[in-house]
Amino acid sequence: MSTVDLTGQVALVTGGAGGIGAAVVRRLAKLGARVAVVDLNAAGAQRLASAAGGIAIVGDVTDPSVMPEAAAQVEKELGRLDIVHLNAGIGGGQAGVDDALDVARYRKLVGVNVDHVVYGLCAAVPALRRQGGGKIVITSSLAGLAAMPSDPLYTLTKHAVVGYVRAAGEALAADGIVVAALCPGFVDTLLLGAAKEEFDAVSFPLLTPSDIADALQAVLTDAEPGEAWIIQPGGQASAYRFRGVPGVGGGQMPPDVVLGRR
């Protein structure tokens, strides 16, 4: 694993009071960073923030005002912002492929998994620019790279995150801001719900939150702008290699055209 010294740096982690977020908060603190923990769970956020030498920020990340206010509070109280991990996420919880759609539940899913990512990135960019650059890491999923028929709506949101990361990564690279995504397989957290028993019954290997913290540490040192890093049990996290887009007549479209540089 790549080594990194974050002494003097400040990080912000959403969904930081439990699961992946808590493991990342602990890892960033161990590497020397002070960490702002954003979560709806006030007691959990305060507990993690105290251990990380940072601050707790309680709020609903689907509220457009929360992430800008969080970024401003971090700069005011901790003096700067260098690393942002937009990690908060929820599962779909419904099929999403028939007329029984629970619209309120669907909007909540999109609010947490997509809107919060946009709000968080836009809120962080001015602060990172003031430091001459920084890192924004977003938790997506393998469902952002491949179909997950058991949860089409979750798949939709995670594909959206990967697409956003790929485009935003290129758009912000000139500012010294590296935007990358983590795309783990199934992780042993509360998000698995009842599926945890099914996985255990067939001895299906699961990732741990610590595995994701390992991957984030690698991304902080090795990721290129716009990359999506795959994380699977027993393997080393690595950047996914996307295929090119076919051009006119079946040829390969030049990357500059694909990325809108011309």
Instruction: Write out the catalytic residue numbers.
Output: 154
The DSSP bridge partners found for residue 74 are none
Cα 102 to Cα 95: distance, rounded to the nearest angstrom: 10
d(CA 109, CA 191): 13
User: Tokens at residue 138, please?
Assistant: 């977003």
> 3-state DSSP helix/strand/coil percent for the chain, to nearest 5?
45, 15, 35
- Token pair, residue 253, equals 């479209």
> Rounded to an integer, what is the distance from CA 4 to the centroid of its chain?
19
H/E element holding 134? strand 134-139
Q: How many CB atoms lie within 10 A of CB 145?
A: 18
Are the C-beta atoms of 178 and 135 separated by less than 8 Å?
Answer: yes
